Structure 1
Amino acid sequence: MYDVRQHPEGAWGGIDMRLRRGACSATTAPRTTDGTSRRRRRSATALLAAGALAMPCLAGCGSDDEVSKPLAAQDILPAGRDLVAEGGTLKWAVDAVPQTLNTFQADADTGTSRIAQAVLPSLFRLDAGGRPVPNPAFLESAKVIETEPRQVVLYKLNQQAVWSDGREIGAADFLAQWRALSGKNSAYWTARNAGYDRIEKIERGASDLQVRVTFSRPYADWKSLFSPLYPKDVMGAPDAFNDGARRKLKVTAGPFTLDKVDTARKDVVLTRNPRWWGRPAKLSQIVLHAVPRDKRAEALADGSVDLADIEPADAERIGLAARNTVNPLQGAGRTSVKKLRAWALAHGFDRDRAKAGQKKLRTAIATYLDEQQALRDFEVRKSLEPSYTQLALNGSEGPLADERVRRAVARALDRKELAKLVLTPLGLPAVPVGSHLALSGQPAYADNSSAIGGQDTKEAEALLADAGWVPGGPIKEQQQKKKGQKAAGPQSDKSHKGGRGDKSDGGRDGQYIVGEDNQNNQNSQNNENSDSSDNNDDNKSGGRGDGGDRHLAQQGEHGGAPGAYAPKGTAAPGAPPTAPLAKDGKPLLLRFVLPSGSGSRTLYSVAERISAMLERVGIRTTITKVPDESYFKDHIASGDYDLSLYSWPSSAFPATDDRPVYAKPVPAADGSVNVEQNYTRVGTDQVDQLFDQAAATLDEGEAVSLIRRADSRIWAAAGSIPLYQRPQLVGARRNLVNAGAFGFQTPVYEDMGFLKKGAKASASPKN
C-alpha cells in the first residue's frame, strides 16, 4: 500500500501503498496480509479547485447478491505437516532491514509487518478470500454481545496464550494498546489510531481470559483492532512505544521469537519459540535478509535467500534455467564478440554490460551461466497481490480540475488492453479491476466501473468539447527533438519540479512530449538506430538502441526480457491521433510523472500505452521521469503531477482504511488544504457520508451495500481509475513448502519448511 510503500518496489508498474493506506512507496511497496487496519496518517497540503461531480449509475452498478472469486489462487506448494522436515533455516528476502519493529509507527514497512506476523499475537488474520477470520492460537471466540446502549465486544482468549516471559495475555495488554493508540496522548508517536479512537473502555470479563471492549459509537470494523497486539511493556509508556520497540522486542508471543537485528549483515533473525503453545514451528529459524530488487536472481543463485519476490525479468531467468540455457561459450571455434553481445542482450544484460570488451563479456556470460545452473533449484510461484495499480488524476488545478476532462481521460482508456499488456505475458488473468475498495474474491467487490462507462472515443471527445477544448487554436509548436537527444531517462538536477502542464522542448533528461509529429519522431529514431553497427546489432538481437524507451515500449522488449512487460512485437495503438486540443490559446497538455528506477519498466510501458490512447482524443502528455526516492514525497504527496501511476492495497476493512484515501480535502487552520491520503485531491461529501455510515453499521450486508455505493461515486468523480491487480511473482526453492505467492492469505509461519527427503507435495495451482 512508496503500499504510496516508501521503497522503490519493482516491476509491477506502480507505486504500491501496500503497507498501509497512506504509506506510500514508489515502484513496489511492501505488503501486509495480516488482517490489521492499514490506516497510516500522512497528510499533504495543496490548493483545491474542483467542480461539481456528476453521479450516474450510483445506486448499485452491481447486485448486492453477487459473489466474486479471487482471480488467481495462491501458489505456495501446500504440504501436510507430516511431509515437512523438522528444522532448517528459511532465508527470505526483504527490501531493507526495518527501521522500526513497531507497526504503528510511520516508518514501519513490509519487514516490520512480516516480523509482527511471526512473533506477535494477531486476533484475526485473512483467509484466501481476504476475509478476517479468528486466529485460534489466540482466540476461542470474539463477538458482539451488546449493541444498546453501547456496542460491546467480548474476547475469549486461548487459555494457553502467554507471552515469552510466561505472563498470560490479557486485559492489561488490550488496555495499554488502546490508551497508546486512542489519539488522546500526543506523547505517543503513533501513525494511526482508526478504531481505537472509538473505544470507550476496556475491562476484564468474568475471568482473566475474557476481555470486554465497549465502544462509544458503533464500529463495524472492530475485527481490525488488536492485530498485532503488543505487550503492555511496549504500549504502557511513551518512551517504550516511541523508542524501545524500534530495534528490539523483549517480550513476544508467536511461533517465533525475535533473536536479533543485525544491521551489518542486513539480517533479522527469528528463532522458533520454545514457549509456543500452538502447532510447533517446523523451521528452526527464519532469516529476513535485505536484498535490492534488482539483485534478487543473483541472491537466489548464490544461496543468500531461498524465497524472494521477484520481477518479471528474474522470473524469465528462472524459466530459462529450467530449460537449460544454451552456452554460447562452448562449441568449435571462438564465438565472435558481435554474437556474444547479441546473446547477452537477449538474455537480459543491460546495454553497458553487453558492450564490454570480449574478455569481460565472456567472464560476465560465464558468471551468468553458473547462476543459471544454480537457479535450476528454484521455481516461480505466481498469483495476484491484494493490491491494484491505478491511474491517478490530480484534480486540484489545471485541466483536470474540470470533472469533464477527468471523465474524458477515463473514457479514452481501454482498461482491458492495459491489463493484458501487464498480465497476459505472465500467464495471469488479465481482468481489469472494477472497484476502488475491494478486489475480486472479497465480500465488498462489485464491478462499478459502469458508473463512468467503458472506452468510448466519441464520448471522450464530446466531454472535452463540452469543457471548451477544441481542435486548433494558437498552440505554440514544440521544438522537434534533435538527433542524439534522449527520449526518456533519469531526470536531471536542473529539471523543473513544479509547473504542471509545462511544455517540454524534448531535450531535457527525463522529459519528452507524447503527441508531437509521430512520423518525424519515428524517422529520427530510425536514423539514430542506424548510426553505428553496434546499435544495428543490438536492435536485431532484441536489445536496446539509441531510439530510447519509447521505441522499446513499442517493441515489448526491456532489458532483454522479451514478453516480460508486453507481448513480444506488440506495437503501441496505431489509430490516427486527433488534432491537438486547445482552450483560450493553451494546449491540452498533461504532465505524466513516473519514477525512473530500473523496477519501473512495466510502469513506463503502461504509461506509454495510456499516452497513446489519450493522443487519440487530442490529449497530449509530457512524460517526466523522476528519482524513485523523490517520486512520492516530492510529486505525488505534494501534488506536483497531472497523471501518475501507483498502487493501493486492498483492505479487509474498507470503511476504515479507505476513507482517508478518498475523503474530500478540507481547509486546514493555516489556510492550506488537508488532503489526508487523497493524493488526487478529488472527493465529495456523499462519499464521506457513505464511508461513515458503513463504519457505523453492524449489519454486514448493509455495510457491503454502502461500500459499493461509495465506490460508484468514486468512479463517477474520476479522480483515479483502477487498472489491474498487481502480479505477484515469487522465486522459491523447489523443496520449500507452504510458502510463496500467498495472495490474500496471511502466511502461516509454523507450517513453512522444507520437504522431507523423498516426500512429494501437492502441485502448485496453475492460473
Structure 2
Amino acid sequence: MSHDGVGPRAVMRSVAFLTAGALAVTALAACSSEDKAGSPLAGQDIAPAARDLIADGGTLRWAVDAVPETLNTFQADADATTTRVAQAVLPSMYRLDVNGRPQRNADYLESAKVVETEPKQVVLYKLNQQAVWSDGREIGAADFAAQWRALSGKDSAYWTARNAGYDRIQKIERGANDLEVKVTFARPYADWRSLFSPLYPKEVMGTPDSFNDGARSKLKITAGPFAVKKVDHKAERITLVRNPRWWGHEPKLSEIVLRAVPRDERAAALAAGAVDLAEIDPSAARSIALAGRAGGKGAGTPLQGSGSDEKAATREDALQGYEVRKSLEPAHTQLALNGSTGPLADERVRRAVARALDRGELAQAVLKPLGLPAVPVGSHLALSGQAAYADNSGALGDQNTAEAQALLADAGWVPGGPVKEQKKAEKAAGAGGKKTEDNSTGDSTGDSGGSGDEEETYVVGEDDETDGKAHHEADREQMKDPRDHTGLHHESAGRASGTSEEAARPLAQDGKQYLQPGGAPGAYAPRGTAAPAGAAAGPLAKDGKPLALRFVLPSGPGSEPLRTVADRISRMLDRVGIRTEITKVPDESYFKDHIASGLYDLALYSWPASAFPATDARPIYAKPVPAADGSLNVEQNYTRVGTDQVDQLFDEAVSTLDESKTRSLIRKADARIWAAAGSIPLYQRPQLTAVRKSLANTGAFGFQTPVYEDMGFLKKGAKPEVSPSASR
C-alpha cells in the first residue's frame, strides 16, 4: 500500500472505545441490510490498454523515495519501496481490487475457503499447479509453515515487526496432495485472507539468520512476474527483470528500474527525461499541466529574452511528454489530538476542537483545486468503497460553534486570563533561542524557517474583537481563492517505525457520560445551552492559564500545503476561543521526537487504508497500557486516547467468521472512536502521478494492487482507453 507522506509506516493498526453511557451510537452503527460502503470517491487513473496494444520490451524508470534497507516486508525498517518490490516478485494469495477489497489471486491460488469451524477453524488452500519458485521448486505447504513459524511470535530470534494473525495458527500441514495446504487456527480469525501475502520461500523464512539478514539486500528465490536482478545502494536503484519461470502472462516490460529521487527533485528529473513515472506534488503537477496546455506553441523559444526564461521554456518542452494521472490515495489525513496530558486530556475539550472544525471546508481547500472529489472522510477504519466503510462522523457531530463553546464552558474554560502576559513570556523565550512570532492577526504564512535543528513557534489568535472580525473576514476571502492552496499530497519524508519507544505519559481516564439527557450528539451540555457572553470575542482561560495548544508541524520545503491546512484549522479553533502555538520542526525529527514521543497537542499525519481493519487498525486505536518498566505501551496509538470497549469490539470483530457481523462490529468501533475525539479524519489524500504519455496500465492506482506484467509502452499509433476515474 502506498504511504509516502507524513505519517507512521502502517505495518499494524489498532483501536479503543468509550464508556457504555457515552453516546447513543449503537443505532448509528447497527447491523443493517443497507450497503453503507458506497463506491470509491475517485477511480484509478492508469491509462488502461489491452495487452495486444502494448509493445514487447522496454525499461520503466520509476521514481521512489529511497532504496529500502530491507526487502523483507515483515521487518521494522521495511518501507513503501519494499512493498513495491514484493508485489512484483513474490506470491500474494490475495490482492486488492479497485474498491480496496481482497480478491483471490488466480496466478497462485485456485481456491481458498474455510472448510471447518468446529472444533477449530480450518482453511484449505488449493494452489495453482503451475506456481513454482524461480529455482523450479513448487510452492507448497513447507513455505506456508516456515512463514508461520517465523511470524508466530514464539521464537524471539526472529526480528519481526508484526505477527498479527500468524499468532492464531495452531498448525499447517499438507492436504490431500502437494497442491493443498491445510491451515488450522487455535482461535477463530476473521482476517485469514490477510495472511501469506506476500509469501516468502522457506529459504528466507526457515531460520532466524536467513530471515534477519538473508533477505535484506537480495532475494535469490522469487515467484512473481519479475525477479530482483540487483540492489545498488551506491547508485540508489533497484533493477527488476523478467522472471524466466513465470507461468502467467509474460511481462510486457523487460525491466523495471526503481530509482531513488527525492520529492523536491522529481520535477527536474522529469524535465531531464531521467524517469518515466513519479508521484509528484501539486506544484510539479501544475507545471506539467501548463506544459500540456502550451501544446508545443512557441516550443524552444525564450519567453522574454532572459537566460532563466529560456531555461524555463526548455523545461516546458521536456514536460510536454508527460501527463498527470490523478486519483485519491488509499490513505486519509487526520488531525491528531494528544489526550495524555494538558487541556486535551479532558474529552470535552477534544470534542470542542472537533466541533470547531469545518471538515468539508478543509477537504475543499485541499482537493477541489486538483479536480478531485472534495468529500470529508467519514471513518477512521475504512474508506468509501471498502466493505467496512460507513460514515460514522455523526457520533461526534458536524461543525457547530455554539456546541463547541458550550463544551469548553462545561470543562471550565471561560473568557479572560493572562493571555497577553503569556505571549510576552513566549517572546522572551524566543529571544533565548526559539524564534517566536506574535501573530495577533492570525496571518501565519510568513517565513517558514525551521531549518536545521531549530524549532519555530508562532501564535495564532487575536487580541480584541475588532482585530478578530477583520481576521475572520480576511480568512473568508482567502478561502474563496484556492490558487495558493493547491492540495496536500506528500506531507513529509518523515516516518516512524511501529516499534518506536514511547514516552511514558498518563492516559486520561474519563468516567463521565458523553450525552446528558436532552443533549445533542457530540456535546455534553444540553441542547440550547448558551455559550458565555463574549466567548467568541476573546481567548479562554482556566485556573489562571490560557487555553493554548501546541500544534507541531514539519518544516521541510515539501510541507507548505500541510502547514496551510494547519493555519486554517488554527483559525477555526480561534473562533471558539482556542489559541494555537504553531511549532515547525525538522522533518527528520517530526515523528520520532514529537508524534511518537507524545510531545505535541495537535498534529497532522496520515494513515493508509486497510482491507483488514479488525487486524490492522487495532494498534492505532488500542488503549495504552503500562509496560513492565513503568512506561506506557501505546503501540501505534500516538494520540494516547483509548478505552476497553473499543478493544473489546475489535477482539470480537477479528474472532467472528460471519463477515456481515464483522463489518457491523467494525462500524460500531469506529462510531465510538469518533466519540472519543482522539483523532479527526479530514480527507482522503490526493494521489498525483506524472507518467510518460506512452505508458499504459500504470499511474494513479487508487486502491488496486498494480498488475506489473501488464505495464508497458504503447505500440506506435495505439491509444489507451479512457480511465473510468472521477478525477478525469
Pair 1:39 & 2:23 matched: no
Pair 1:153 & 2:123 matched: yes
Pair 1:55 & 2:28 matched: no
After TM superposition, list the pairs within 5 Å mapping 1:713-724 onto structure 2.
Answer: 713-724=672-683
**Whole-angstrom CA distance in 2 between matches of 1:459 and 1:749:** 51
The C-alpha deviation readout for 1:233-253, integer Å capped at 9, x for no partner, is 000011111111000001000
For the residue of structure 1 that corresponds to 2:7, the secondary structure is strand
Using the TM superposition, give the Cα deviation of residue 664 of structure 1 relative to its aligned residue in structure 2, in angstroms.
Answer: 0.4
* Distance change (3 Å), C-alpha of 1:250 and 1:761: same
**Whole-angstrom CA distance in 1 between matches of 2:394 and 2:622:** 22
Pair 1:196 & 2:155 matched: no
Query: Match of 1:433?
Result: 377
**Whole-angstrom CA distance in 2 between matches of 1:122 and 1:693:** 27
Q: Which moved more, 1:442-451 or 1:466-475?
A: 466-475
Query: Match of 2:505?
Result: none
Query: Match of 1:390?
Result: 334
Using the TM superposition, give the Cα deviation of residue 295 of structure 1 relative to its aligned residue in structure 2, in angstroms.
Answer: 1.1
* Distance change (3 Å), C-alpha of 1:152 and 1:478: same
Q: Is the 8 A contact 2:366 2:485 kept in 1?
A: no
Q: Is the 8 A contact 2:63 2:277 kept in 1?
A: yes
Q: How many residues align?
A: 660
**Whole-angstrom CA distance in 1 between matches of 2:293 and 2:365:** 25
For the residue of structure 2 that corresponds to 1:153, the secondary structure is strand
C-alpha RMSD over aligned residues: 3.0
* Distance change (3 Å), C-alpha of 1:587 and 1:210: same
Q: Is the 8 A contact 1:53 1:717 kept in 2?
A: no
Q: Is the 8 A contact 1:490 1:627 kept in 2?
A: no
Picking from 500, 508, 513, the partner of 2:459 is: 513
Query: Match of 1:251?
Result: 221
Using the TM superposition, give the Cα deviation of residue 372 of structure 1 relative to its aligned residue in structure 2, in angstroms.
Answer: 1.1
Picking from 466, 486, 494, the partner of 1:564 is: 486
For the residue of structure 2 that corresponds to 1:478, the secondary structure is helix
One-letter code aligned to 2:406? A
**Whole-angstrom CA distance in 2 between matches of 1:114 and 1:83:** 25
Picking from 449, 465, 479, the partner of 2:409 is: 465
- Please, what TM-score do these two structures have when normalized by structure 1? 0.82
The C-alpha deviation readout for 1:240-280, integer Å capped at 9, x for no partner, is 11111000001000000100011222110000111100011
After TM superposition, list the pairs within 5 Å mapping 1:594-613 onto structure 2.
Answer: 594-613=553-572
Query: Match of 2:526?
Result: none
Pair 1:112 & 2:86 matched: no
Gaps (5+ residues) in structure 1? 21-37, 336-361, 496-508, 526-549, 567-574
Pair 1:16 & 2:7 matched: yes
**Whole-angstrom CA distance in 1 between matches of 2:24 and 2:288:** 46
**Whole-angstrom CA distance in 2 between matches of 1:96 and 1:469:** 47
Q: Is the 8 A contact 1:512 1:622 kept in 2?
A: yes
Pair 1:83 & 2:42 matched: no
Query: Match of 1:342?
Result: none
Q: Is the 8 A contact 2:415 2:535 kept in 1?
A: no
Query: Match of 1:631?
Result: 590
Query: Match of 1:591?
Result: 550
Query: Match of 1:678?
Result: 637
Pair 1:693 & 2:652 matched: yes
Q: Is the 8 A contact 1:659 1:691 kept in 2?
A: yes
Query: Match of 1:478?
Result: 423
Q: Is the 8 A contact 1:194 1:656 kept in 2?
A: yes
After TM superposition, list the pairs within 5 Å mapping 1:299-448 onto structure 2.
Answer: 299-324=269-294, 362-448=306-392
Using the TM superposition, give the Cα deviation of residue 490 of structure 1 relative to its aligned residue in structure 2, in angstroms.
Answer: 3.6
Q: Is the 8 A contact 2:67 2:259 kept in 1?
A: yes
Query: Match of 1:351?
Result: none
**Whole-angstrom CA distance in 1 between matches of 2:234 and 2:184:** 46
Q: Is the 8 A contact 2:552 2:584 kept in 1?
A: yes
Q: Which moved more, 1:131-140 or 1:301-310?
A: 301-310
* Distance change (3 Å), C-alpha of 1:755 and 1:171: same
Query: Match of 1:338?
Result: none
Query: Match of 1:502?
Result: none
One-letter code aligned to 1:478? K
The C-alpha deviation readout for 1:521-549, integer Å capped at 9, x for no partner, is 99999xxxxxxxxxxxxxxxxxxxxxxxx
Using the TM superposition, give the Cα deviation of residue 563 of structure 1 relative to its aligned residue in structure 2, in angstroms.
Answer: 5.0
* Distance change (3 Å), C-alpha of 1:517 and 1:330: farther
**Whole-angstrom CA distance in 2 between matches of 1:331 and 1:215:** 69
Query: Match of 1:292?
Result: 262
* Distance change (3 Å), C-alpha of 1:565 and 1:654: closer
Using the TM superposition, give the Cα deviation of residue 691 of structure 1 relative to its aligned residue in structure 2, in angstroms.
Answer: 0.2
**Whole-angstrom CA distance in 1 between matches of 2:345 and 2:485:** 37
* Distance change (3 Å), C-alpha of 1:285 and 1:128: same
One-letter code aligned to 1:645? L
Using the TM superposition, give the Cα deviation of residue 61 of structure 1 relative to its aligned residue in structure 2, in angstroms.
Answer: 1.9
Which structure's relative contact order is higher, taking Cα pairs within 8 Å and 6+ residues apart? 2
Pair 1:451 & 2:391 matched: no
One-letter code aligned to 2:717? G
**Whole-angstrom CA distance in 1 between matches of 2:308 and 2:583:** 33
Query: Match of 1:270?
Result: 240
Q: Is the 8 A contact 1:578 1:615 kept in 2?
A: no
Using the TM superposition, give the Cα deviation of residue 576 of structure 1 relative to its aligned residue in structure 2, in angstroms.
Answer: 11
Q: Is the 8 A contact 1:162 1:253 kept in 2?
A: yes
* Distance change (3 Å), C-alpha of 1:494 and 1:258: closer
**Whole-angstrom CA distance in 2 between matches of 1:163 and 1:473:** 70
Query: Match of 1:347?
Result: none
Query: Match of 1:231?
Result: 201
Q: Is the 8 A contact 1:84 1:756 kept in 2?
A: yes
Q: Which moved more, 1:509-518 or 1:216-225?
A: 509-518
Query: Match of 1:212?
Result: 182
One-letter code aligned to 2:57? G
Query: Match of 1:121?
Result: 91
**Whole-angstrom CA distance in 1 between matches of 2:20 and 2:313:** 58
Query: Match of 1:640?
Result: 599
